[in-house]
Each structure stands twice: as C-alpha cells, then as structure tokens.
Amino acid sequence: MDATKIIRQIAFPLLGLGILALVIPELLTGNPNSRVGGALTPSQTDEAYRDLWLSDAAGAAAHLTKALRADPASPERWADLADAFVEGDREALARLCIDRAVAAAPGLPHIRFRAANLSFRLGDTRRGLQESAAALRLSPDYAATVFQVWHRLGGGPENVFREAAPGAGVARDYFVWLTSAADRAEVAQVWKLLGTSARETETLAYIDYLIAQRDYPTASVLEATLPRPDGNLLHDGGFENLQVTAAGTSGAGWHVDPMEAVSAEPDTSMFRSGHTSLRVRFSGTNPEYRNVTQKVVLSQGVYRLTAVLETQGITSEQGITIRLADMNDEHHFSTTQAITGSQPWRTVESTFRVGPGSSLVAISLSRRASWGFDTPLSGTVWADDLRLVRLREGS
C-alpha cells in the first residue's frame, strides 16, 4: 500500500499520516510481513489492550494504529492510540492523537472525559480541567466523577476555578460535593470562591459540614445570615421542601433516617398551612423514634418551640412529642406534651434554655419506646408549622 492510498483513508490526512509513519514505518513501505495489514479482529483488539496492561506500549501502538487505519474517523480509535502513546512516554504523539479525538467528536462527553484523563496522565492539568469541564457541560451525569478528578488532580480550588471556569451552578454543586469529601481548608477555600453566588442550599450544606466538624461558632454566624421569616430559627418548618429520593426522605435542614416498619414522607393531602405536612406512619413495632431531625446552633438564651400535630389511631401509652435536646449533653432536653389516640390539629409547645456559649440542639419528632412488650406502636401522625423562636429575657 502506497502513501497516497493511506492519505485518502485517513480523515485527518497530514496529521494521521505523520503519526502512522512515525509509529509503523511498514505502513508506508507496503512491507507484506507487517502485522498491521487489514482490519483488526476483536481478538486483536483485545491483544492491543493486553499489550498495554503488560506495558508493551509499542506493541499496543502497532495494533491500535491498525485499528485507526481501518476506521480513521473514529474518535475512540484516536483516543485508544493516544492511550498507547501516553503509556509509551511519546508525549508529542499522544497530544496529537488527543487533539484528533476531540476534533472528531467535540460533542461526545465520554471522548472529552477521555481527553481529560489522558491530559492529566501527561501532566497537563490545565487541559485536563478544561476537557473535564467540557464533558460536564455536555452531560451532568459526569458530575460526581468530574468533581472527584478536580478534587484529586485539579491543583487546588483556585486552579480549578481559573482553568475549568465552572459556571455558578456547577461551582455550587462542586461545593456541596466537597462538603462530603474534602478537608476543612479546601471546603472553606471553595466557599470563599463562591462568594455571592452561594444560595441558601449551599449555606445549609456548609452549616451541616461545620456542625459535623464541631465548629459551632462559625455555623452559628452562617445561620444568622439565613432568611428567618417571623424569627423562626427552623428551616422549612412546614416541610414544604421535603423530598423523597432513592436514598430516603430529605430536605434542606431536615434529615430523615429510615427505620423498619416506619414511613416518613411529605403529605400534600393533609396540612395545617401551606401545601404540605410531614406524615409519619407506624406499623406495629415498639421503636425509640427520633428519626426526623433538624440541628441548629443556638447561643445562650431561652427558646420556645411550637408545632401543630394531628394524630390518627396512635396506640400505646407513649405518645408523639417534639423533642429539643442538647447534642453535647444527653441529660439536657425538653419535650412537648405527648399525644396519643386520634386528635385533630393541636398546637404543642416547649421551652428550652441554652447556657453560656453555643450549643448544638436537635429538634426531632419523637416517641419513647414503651416499657410494655405487648404495646406496639401503630397509627399516623402529621406534623406542620414547627417554629423555634428566641424569647426576650423575662418573657
């Protein structure tokens, strides 16, 4: 086969010809003994990747060049050959193949992500960030994978924001992802980079992160920046934003831990105000239940909690309450009056005093386990309009 025929077969003629000539000179001489004549069979493709696994980059490049000649318009083939060149420390050729793969399919997210991965392996952090950002723009499904790459290989938050140039939405999602994966310094740095683009969702995620880190003073300062209608220190006291996901029921501010024989979910057919309430249904067990919880950091003072509850068929002598408890002192708690049986919407309340400093307080829908083994809990409770307000001294 002469060079002119090869040029016609390659979608990117001059570049493709140059790469092939450098890797497999026999392609240009028509050597009949060359092992790269004709299209690759599936077993030969497997052999190429086996060569890579065995660190035989030259052997892999030979096979993959053959595959490229058979399908010169394929971005996958260009990326495959780039992989072989990266493995063989042939940086210039690897970069050319990466360019050709992207040029052949700039709109395919998996090709852009492969280009990112290859670039990182070459030590080209800038292009790695740019290509991974392109993959994410093309497909949000890449978010978790891209964020992990940015976190591990991005060269720090400032470099990620400069080179990947994530839009405000992606930057916020990246921050929320980091709160479950990064150390405090990195999370704080990204929070600072977010600046005024941070919304309530990101603020709540950061508060949760700070609480987990036991940095209550900083969490308290951030909580003070959140909008508090009528002075209510609870977020979404009406459960309007509670959602049921594959991982369970959750919402900004509220955390619902699943429990066997108990369901907790939003109910749009029964509510005291707004359009939704929280419905918790018990199915004949005897649980110690505190699984619907919101945590807040409170400074010294006296606070009043109110809630509106409705019950239907709540059995056993241990009724449903709303509980406030100091997370650092299990003996310091307060509960509203317990409700059993079937009761229409009813307001319950309790007061709670916080001593000097800041305290992490958990507000939970609660039921104590019964002492009687033959008194399982059944029935349903609806909760709505939870409010936690600070009382003035003397009130």
Please enumerate in sequence order all residues whose Cβ is within 8 A of that of 29, keeping only pairs 6 or more positions apart, or say none. Answer: none
The answer on pLDDT for 57 being more than 90 is no
What does the pLDDT read at residue 8?
A: 32
How many residues would you count in the chain? Answer: 395
What does the pLDDT read at residue 151?
A: 95
CB atoms within 10 A of CB 140: 12
The answer on pLDDT for 375 being more than 60 is yes
Point out the least confidently predicted range of 54-63, 75-84, 154-163, 357-366.
54-63
Alpha-carbon gap, residue 263 to 279, rounded angstroms:
8
Distance of CA 189 to the CA centre of its chain: 18
State the DSSP H helix or E strand holding residue 363, giving kind and residue range, or none if neither.
strand 341-367
Give the model confidence (pLDDT) of 123-170 as tens digits.
999 999 999 999 999 999 999 999 999 999 999 999 999 999 888 899
Give the model confidence (pLDDT) of 286-323 as tens digits.
788 999 999 898 888 999 999 999 999 998 778 899 99
Alpha carbons within 13 A on the beta-carbon side of 260: 2
Higher-scoring residue by pLDDT: 341, 329: 341
What does the pLDDT read at residue 46?
A: 60
Taking the alpha carbons of 50, 52, 57, 60 in that order, is the dihedral positive or negative? positive
The answer on pLDDT for 374 being more than 70 is no
Indicate the burial class of 5 (C-beta count within 10 angstroms; 0-12, 13-18, 19 or more).
Answer: exposed
Indicate the burial class of 36 (C-beta count within 10 angstroms; 0-12, 13-18, 19 or more).
Answer: buried
Higher-scoring residue by pLDDT: 346, 3: 346
Contact 259, 287 (CB under 8 A): yes
Average pLDDT, rounded, for the chain: 83
Higher-scoring residue by pLDDT: 157, 9: 157
pTM above 0.75, yes or no: no
C-alpha angle with apex 389: 384 to 392, nearest 5 degrees? 155
Question: Residue 389 pairs with which residues in a beta bridge?
Answer: 304
Contact 283, 377 (CB under 8 A): no
What would the DSSP string read from start to end of 114-125? HHHHHHHHTT-H
Higher-scoring residue by pLDDT: 47, 245: 47
Distance of CA 242 to the CA centre of its chain: 18
The answer on pLDDT for 31 being more than 50 is no
Alpha-carbon gap, residue 246 to 251, rounded angstroms:
13
Give the model confidence (pLDDT) of 200-238 as tens digits.
889 988 988 898 888 888 888 888 888 887 889 998 999
Higher-scoring residue by pLDDT: 14, 275: 275
Helix (H, G, I), strand (E, B) or coil at 141: helix
Best CA proximity match to 366, nearest among 388, 344, 335: 335
What does the pLDDT read at residue 201?
A: 84
Across residues 240-267, what is the average pLDDT? 75
Distance of CA 316 to the CA centre of its chain: 41
Please give the domain boundaries of the chain with CATH numbers for all domains. 1-105 (1.25.40), 243-391 (2.60.120.260)
- With a pLDDT cut of 90, the percent of the chain lying above it is 50
What does the pLDDT read at residue 55?
A: 64
Please enumerate in sequence order all residues whose Cβ is within 8 A of that of 233, keeping only pairs 6 or more positions apart, or say none. Answer: 223, 296, 298, 303, 388, 389, 390
The answer on pLDDT for 26 being more than 90 is no
Q: How confident is the model at residue 246 (pLDDT cuts 50, 70, 90)?
A: very low
First to last CA, the chain: 96
Enter the tokens of residue 305.
Answer: 């909690």
Higher-scoring residue by pLDDT: 14, 373: 373
Question: Residue 351 pairs with which residues in a beta bridge?
Answer: 304
**Beta pairing class for 289-314 and 377-391:** antiparallel
Q: How confident is the model at residue 44 (pLDDT cuts 50, 70, 90)?
A: low
Across residues 236-251, what is the average pLDDT? 68
Helix (H, G, I), strand (E, B) or coil at 271: coil
Q: Phi and psi (nearest 5°) for 301?
A: 155, -175
Q: How confident is the model at residue 52 (pLDDT cuts 50, 70, 90)?
A: low
The answer on pLDDT for 252 being more than 80 is no
Enter the tokens of residue 229.
Answer: 């209608």
Q: Phi and psi (nearest 5°) for 203?
A: -60, -45
Q: How confident is the model at residue 65 (pLDDT cuts 50, 70, 90)?
A: confident
